[in-house]
A and B are shown apart, each in its own frame.
Chain A
Amino acid sequence: MTQSPSKQIDHYVKSYNSFLSEISGNSPTWLGDLRANGMKHFQNLGLPIERRGNEEWKYTDVRPISRIDFDTPADISSVDANALTNITFGDSNWPCLIFLDGIYSEKLSNLSGLPSEIVALNLPEAVNKYPDITREHLSQHAPYHDNGFAALNTAFINDGAFVYVKEEASLNEPLRLLFISTSRVQESISNPRILIVTGNNSQATIIEGYAGISDTPYLSNSVTEIVVGQGSNLKYYKTQIQDNNAFHITNTHVLLQRDSYMSSVNIDLGGRLVRNNLNVITGDENASCKLNGLYMVTGSQHVDNQVIIDHAKPYTTSRELYKGILDGKSRSVFHGSIIVREGAEKVNAHQVDKNLLLSDEAEADTKPAFWIYCDDVKCGHGAACGQMDDTALFYLRSRGIDEQSAKRMLTQAFVNEIIEGIENESYRLHISELVQGMLQDWLTA
């Protein structure tokens, strides 16, 4: 892998050293070692700015990130709570952990309604209270030896969200994990870290939300690790409504245990440069997942989704549907890989990516890849990329519907498939309103 300029690595080494002195003495040895390893790998890797021959980053240029020396905030910024009232990610009464620039805000978080079968804590507290679970899983699922962003995040592990859903727990109300960037003066970086472990036969809904109230560019560089227990059902809704000067990088690694199911919906509605890596391993028989995604970009926004499903065991199923709406000079990348390991018989995998281009200058790249090392499997994929259907548009207009409304109806219809896949009704309505509002703005310009 390539090196980012040494000047930039030096910048983060300096940040790392002052970060260590800020948090000195508060962590067990294993965690200290983990951070040191993260930093060591980051110094080797740097950021993936070299794209030639680098298939993973071929379509996404992260040099704009490498050109800025992002500051690592040491203290929680003073934020007017009123500025956050519109950032709800669903019902504002649902329990939540809130992080400002990566630092836990006890004051803004609300765990009063949290049932006793679910544990939600700031990571340092979890390391003390649940040493076995945190040590067993933290950084065990998200590799950082080959990924500069994940290495950087690992070096700066401190505050973060820890969620533990106990065995047999059944939770209807979603838990929200919200990460808000507030950089006001200096460009800042946050390294959100999330660990979600669900016990056997449990059910839960977790929302991971990202937003910004910032006047300067900022970088949100998160790593999420999820272990879904045997026979469990997890609904995981990751949504970002970042500012249009935000760099948003996420690495999400999921391990599905026997008979478990995860429904994931990844929604990108903001950000200047967005890259999501989602890696799911169906780690035992009869595990299945539905991975849906929606991205809406305009102007010069760039969004890149890399999804890898690793069917490690037989009788596992995956369904993947990503849809994008692109306007302006925006660009999207969808790179979906499906791996079926040797001996993983009866795997059933299906992947679809569809893009609707609202302007001539927008561009969508979609690239499916299958790595199949087993005979008895069923895999399929579909990809589509096109302008709005003129025939349908004329059909609607011929019934008296004006052009803008007709375009809105057709675009709305295009995204409905994703929105209707959000099982939680309140959250579905929340996202539907956000999307409708955006389409209203885009299509009445």
Chain B
Amino acid sequence: MLDISNLHASIDNNEILKGINLKVQPGEIHAIMGPNGSGKSTLANVLAGHPSFTVTSGEATLNKENLLKMLPEERARAGVFLCFQHPVEVSGVRLDHFMRAGYNAIQKSRGKEEMDVLKFDRMLNEKVQIVEMDRNLIKRAVNEGFSGGEKKRNEILQMAVYEPTLSILDEPDSGLDVDALRIVANGINQLRTPEKSIILVTHYQRILNYVVPDKVHVLINGRIVKSGDKDLAKEIEERGYDWIETDIQASK
């Protein structure tokens, strides 16, 4: 499904990604872990097409289609969804209006029927239950005045609405207390299917107790330096990242 090879990307002429190789198969969850500043969020944003980053070399394809040539909106229509680490507040734009605009843009691009307000409202009323979100929030401006937990749940709500082929979750657990973490993780688990893939970027192993990954990758200084199964995450939780860096130094 997703095939990334030797991906290099920079911002303001600073190289952040220094040759990423990653293959994700349908139905798989890949956790990407790493210390602060290792390039985890950059990878997430580059895949979604954030205009601040420049891809300097390498490839990324989704179902054999070149992702890197697509505009952000084209990637969304191709099935890519980015769950933002810091969802932006958009005052003056109602959340339900915004979601319907996006949903219908995607439907239209696929030659499918657009959804009217009533049907869309009915769908939203079901979907909010996945993340146990207050139904009144969807009538408010996008993320405006939302708590940290509400913003994260709103991201998962949108993931539920768009039903993306590839979800890239950028630290969906950051800043959440235990209850909120459980709700967000539950939401993600409900959206798992054998066809859809998830890349879960996280700093801590905590969320992986709830959302069990098929593969775990450690990203340090713009490269994936170690890959393994869910046990690797547990080892990181116990020993931190330093030992991996030491291992790399030693092997050089």
- Interface residues of A, Cβ cutoff 8 Å to B: 389-392, 394-403, 405-406, 409-410, 412-414, 416-417
Contacts and interface: CB of A to CB of B under 8 A. Distances in A.
A131 B14 CA distance: 77
B102 A396 contact: yes
Given A405-B105, A413-B92, A413-B93, A397 B71 contact: yes
5 contacts: A392-B88, A397-B71, A398-B82, A399-B99, A399-B158
A400 B84 contact: no
B76 A399 contact: yes
B51 interface: yes
A401 B92 contact: no
Interface string B48-82: 11111000000000000000000111011100011
Contact of B102 (A390, A392, A399, A403): A399
A153 to B, nearest CB: 38
Given A395-B90, A398-B75, A399-B76, 17 more contacts: A396-B101, A397-B49, A397-B76, A398-B72, A398-B82, A399-B73, A399-B102, A399-B105, A400-B76, A400-B106, A400-B162, A401-B73, A409-B101, A412-B92, A413-B90, A413-B91, A417-B92
B87 interface: yes
A393 to B, nearest CB: 9
A399 B103 CA distance: 8
B127 to A, nearest CB: 14
B98 interface: yes
A169 to B, nearest CB: 36
A399 B162 contact: yes
> Chain A's interface: helix, strand, loop or mixed, by majority?
helix
Contact of A400 (B52, B93, B105, B142): B105
A397 B105 CA distance: 10
A400 B102 contact: yes
B114 to A, nearest CB: 12
A391 B93 CA distance: 14
A414 B102 contact: no
Contacts of A394: 50-51, 72
B109 interface: yes
Given A394-B50, A410-B93, A413-B93, A401 B88 contact: no
Contact of B92 (A390, A397, A403, A414): A414
Contacts of A399: 73, 76, 98-99, 101-102, 105, 158, 162
B90 A398 contact: no
Contacts of B72: 394, 397-398
A401 B102 contact: yes
A406 B101 CA distance: 9
A292 to B, nearest CB: 15
A59 B217 CA distance: 59
Nearest to A414: B92
Nearest to B141: A413
7 residue pairs, one from A and one from B, having the closest CB atoms: A413-B92, A399-B102, A400-B76, A397-B72, A400-B106, A400-B105, A400-B102
Contacts of A395: 84, 87-88, 90, 142
Contacts of B93: 409-410, 413
A389 B90 CA distance: 9
The CB with the most chain A CB atoms within 10 A, among B52, B72, B99, B158, is that of: B72
Contacts of B91: 413
Contacts of B73: 397-403, 406
Interface string B122-153: 00000000000000000001100000000000
Contacts of B87: 395
Contacts of B76: 397-400
Contacts of B52: 390
A226 B82 CA distance: 55
A391 B88 contact: yes
Contacts of A409: 93, 98, 101
A175 B157 CA distance: 47
Nearest to B91: A413
A403 B77 CA distance: 13
Contacts of A402: 71, 73, 105
Interface string B31-48: 000000000000000001
A232 B65 CA distance: 66
A405 B104 CA distance: 12
B31 to A, nearest CB: 21
A398 B48 contact: yes
Nearest to B48: A398
Given A401-B73, A401-B102, A409-B98, A396 B51 contact: no
Nearest to A395: B88
A414 B48 CA distance: 26
Given A394-B72, A399-B98, A401-B102, A389 B88 contact: yes
Nearest to A416: B92
A400 B77 contact: yes
Contacts of B81: 398
B152 to A, nearest CB: 14
A352 to B, nearest CB: 13
Interface string B97-123: 011011101100100000000000000
Contacts of A403: 71, 73
Contacts of B162: 399-400
Nearest to B75: A398
Contacts of A412: 92
A225 B179 CA distance: 61
B49 A398 contact: yes
A395 B90 CA distance: 9
A86 B52 CA distance: 45
A355 to B, nearest CB: 15
Contacts of B75: 398
